[in-house]
Amino acid sequence: MDPFQTVAREMKFLTGNIRSLLGSGHPTLDTVAKYYTQSEGKYVRPMLVLLMSRATALTPKIARAGCGSNSVDAPITSSSTLSDDNPDASISHIAHDTAYTSADSDILPSQRRLAEITELIHTASLLHDDVIDHSVARRSAPSANIEFGNKMAVLAGDFLLGRASVALARLRDPEVTELLATVIANLVEGEFMQLKNTARDEKNPVWTEDTVTYYLQKTYLKSASLISKSCRAAAVLGGSTPEVVEASYQYGKNLGMAFQLVDDMLDYTISSEELGKPGGADLELGLATAPLLFAWKDNKTLGKLVGRKFGEKGDAQKAREIVLASTGLQQTRVLAQDYVDKAIEAISPFPDSDAKNGLIEMCTKVLRRRK
Ligand code: FPP
Ligand code: MG
Ligand code: MG
């Protein structure tokens, strides 16, 4: 079963609603902010939020004051925090989108909005990431930093975070606000950890188990935090019991880890054309990811190259050859499979449903994906 079909109706409105959230009276900002919405992304995060919302609709609930009574659907009046005479007025359209008119759906309006918020935060991180990584392409088109320059790309990312924060505040759920605000901090923490390949910045680092632990913690912060905490937030908004909330989080955490491990494999195995962004970028950026860390365990000559971030002529090529000749890629796949198994295990107590099957199918898709 295609997980997309399970939430196809909700997904249909996603891009339009995200674009509504990003309207600005400043025409250039409007263009830059909406730039990555022109090319269809994979929408992994919103799809997971919608599937989790639907799958947890059938699980036990707590009596929860205010559950489902947030202001996401409320018409925005002149007493709103956003006045009508400034460029922000365009955000008021979000309250009337057709996606939110179906009262009979088991997915709450707040959960649909959460799906959009996760994509906004993700896209903001990509705008910043492409500046940091000096990227030239994203989603088979020039990246925003190339098209508009670093300054506008960074500012547009900030704007997305601002609009995501407004939409989050309107959910009127402090726990969910805290979860998603923590994600933004986690993304930055992960990116800071990535500035170093190992916990201690040494010229000739020695491989230890801590090397992998450091990489996995960075991977959680950089990638799995958004997926895990947004799955958790979906269950919180649905008024699920603490057990279900925790299971949703565990599913997202493990799937998120697998997602990034596969991402790190694809950087070695798939061409730039197929990826829609530069392949082989990690070594060029000085990054030692899972395939290399596993190869390093068996081939200690890599330590020196890791220490100088593959910065000397021929380093990246040499490291690539060692990784490709090693079992690093297979070991990475095995680890990704372990995480996926844990993700599926986490939601095994949920009652059977198409949405639960969709969540399981997402695991298979993550392992099989080529971009
Ligand atoms: C893509 O990774 C980037 C991320 C998963 C997160 C980047 C986070 C930041 C730049 C911190 C700032 C965040 C916000 C929300 C302001 P990648 O470079 O490995 O993947 P790629 O090949 O898709 O570029
Ligand atoms: Mg990047
Ligand atoms: Mg990056």
Q: Return per-residue pLDDT of the chain as tens, 371 residues.
A: 788 888 988 888 999 999 999 999 999 999 999 999 998 788 999 999 999 999 999 898 987 644 444 556 443 222 333 333 343 444 444 443 434 444 446 999 999 999 999 999 999 999 999 999 999 999 889 999 999 999 999 999 999 999 999 999 999 999 999 999 999 999 999 999 999 888 888 888 999 999 999 999 999 999 999 999 999 999 999 999 999 999 999 999 999 999 999 999 999 998 888 888 887 899 999 999 999 999 999 999 999 999 999 999 999 999 999 999 999 999 999 999 999 999 999 999 999 999 999 999 999 999 998 88
Task: Using the mean position of ligand 1's atoms as its centre, give its distance from the Cα of residue 52 in Å.
Answer: 24
User: Is 284 close to ligand 1, i.e. is its CB under 6 Å away?
Assistant: no
List the residue whose alpha carbon is closest to atom 14 of ligand 1: 125
| Residue 337 CB-density burial (10 A; 0-12 exposed, 13-18 middle, 19+ buried) | middle
Cα 159 off chain centre by: 18
Q: At what angle do helices 290-298 and 328-346 cross, to 10 degrees?
A: 130
Q: For position 98, what pLDDT does the model report?
A: 39
Q: 268's torsion region: left (phi>0), alpha (psi -120 to 50) or beta?
A: alpha
Say which DSSP state 23 is in: -
And the tokens for 291?
Answer: 């395939």
User: Is 128 close to ligand 1, i.e. is its CB under 6 Å away?
Assistant: yes
User: Is 261 close to ligand 1, i.e. is its CB under 6 Å away?
Assistant: no
Task: Using the mean position of ligand 1's atoms as its centre, give its distance from the Cα of residue 223 in Å.
Answer: 8
Ligand nearest to the CA of 275: 1
User: Is 332 close to ligand 1, i.e. is its CB under 6 Å away?
Assistant: no
Which of 119, 187, 193, 289 most suits a substitution to test ligand 1, by most atoms within 8 Å of the C-beta?
187
And the tokens for 148?
Answer: 């508009």
Say which DSSP state 61 is in: B
Which of 45, 125, 287 most suits a substitution to test ligand 1, by most atoms within 8 Å of the C-beta?
125
End-to-end CA distance of the chain: give it in Å, rounded: 20
Closest CA to 240 of 135, 154, 349: 349
User: Which ipTM value was assigned to this complex?
Assistant: 0.98
Inter-residue contact 164 to 124 (CB < 8 Å): yes
| Cα separations in angstroms, 358 against 1, 49, 119, 173, 225 | 7, 11, 19, 27, 21
* Residue corresponding to tokens 């997202």: 252
Query: What is the pTM assigned to this prediction?
Result: 0.90
Q: For position 123, what pLDDT does the model report?
A: 97
* Distant-in-sequence contacts of 331-337, Cβ < 8 A, 24+ apart: 331/290, 331/291, 331/294, 332/261, 332/264, 332/265, 332/290, 332/291, 332/294, 333/261, 333/262, 333/265, 333/367, 335/261, 335/290, 336/257, 336/258, 336/261, 336/262, 336/265, 336/366, 336/367, 337/258, 337/367
